[in-house]
Amino acid sequence: MADILNSAEIEQLKAFRFTTEETSSALSIRLDRLLDEEIFLRYLENAGSRIGSPGLKVTASIFFKRYAFLTVIYLYGMTVWNKKLPVSFNNISIQTNDTEDLWLPKFLFHSLKFEMASENRKKWREKALKEFFAESAFGLIEHVSAAKVPKSVLWENIAIYVFWLYETVLPELEDECIRKRAKEDFAYLISEVPGNIFGYEQENPIHLFYHNGRNEQNVRVRTTCCFSYALEGSNKRCKTCPRK
């Protein structure tokens, strides 16, 4: 019998934009289809109309920021359950509810099979991180950056969710062993993991955005801007915006 996520685990992930329901929205699509340039441009046009974007660059950044939340689901499974979820592009669909005002798409996993951590967890963790960052996120970043969005913006869109998960969400868990493991995984992610895990020879793009510069709300300020302020009807900037 295959190892698949159970109903309790699925319910936990629903707090992180995980879904088991498909929708008929034009903005619901399997991720691998977005690797087709023509399909991707058409998708961005539809998304731009939905969010009130002034242009392709802004739309592409916001799209990737929405995609970047998938990082939370994946790392939660890795750290909390010691389970590596299947994140190949042909296994995940973005699902959009057209009745919602704010575009916050959810993620549907067509297969819920997972790989449990091996006895050598450090080696398994490295493999898990490389599968997500170098073999998935890196390729999409290369694709999205063709819309003239700086890669630094796209990587920071991922980094902010890594920081949020490990600094805000996981420290609140009751299990002391999980909290300890979370600290170890976070330290590895921000300072020890080699660049090839992210698809680069040397650079760790998550480490680049880890700093202690915070605003009056004690929120870490971004180094780059995600361009959310440019959306139609947007009357305020993100709490983390460096343009304030």
Could you tell me the domains of the chain?
A: 7-204 (1.10.510)
pLDDT digits (tens, 9 = 90+) for 174-232: 999 999 999 999 999 999 999 999 998 778 999 989 976 565 555 677 877 777 878 88
pTM: 0.93
pLDDT digits (tens, 9 = 90+) for 98-112: 999 999 999 999 999
Supply φ then ψ for residue 108, to 5 degrees.
-110, 125
Specify whether the CB–CB gap between 157 and 64 falls below 8 A.
yes
Tell me which long-range contacts 99-102 makes (C-beta under 8 A, separation of at least 24). none
Specify whether the CB–CB gap between 65 and 103 falls below 8 A.
no
Place 1 in a pLDDT band, splitting at 50, 70 and 90: very low
What distance in Å separates the CA atoms of residue 85 and residue 48, rounded to the nearest whole number?
30
pLDDT digits (tens, 9 = 90+) for 117-168: 999 999 999 999 999 999 999 999 999 999 999 999 999 999 999 999 999 9
Q: Angle at Cα 204 formed by Cα 198 and Cα 210, nearest 5°?
A: 125
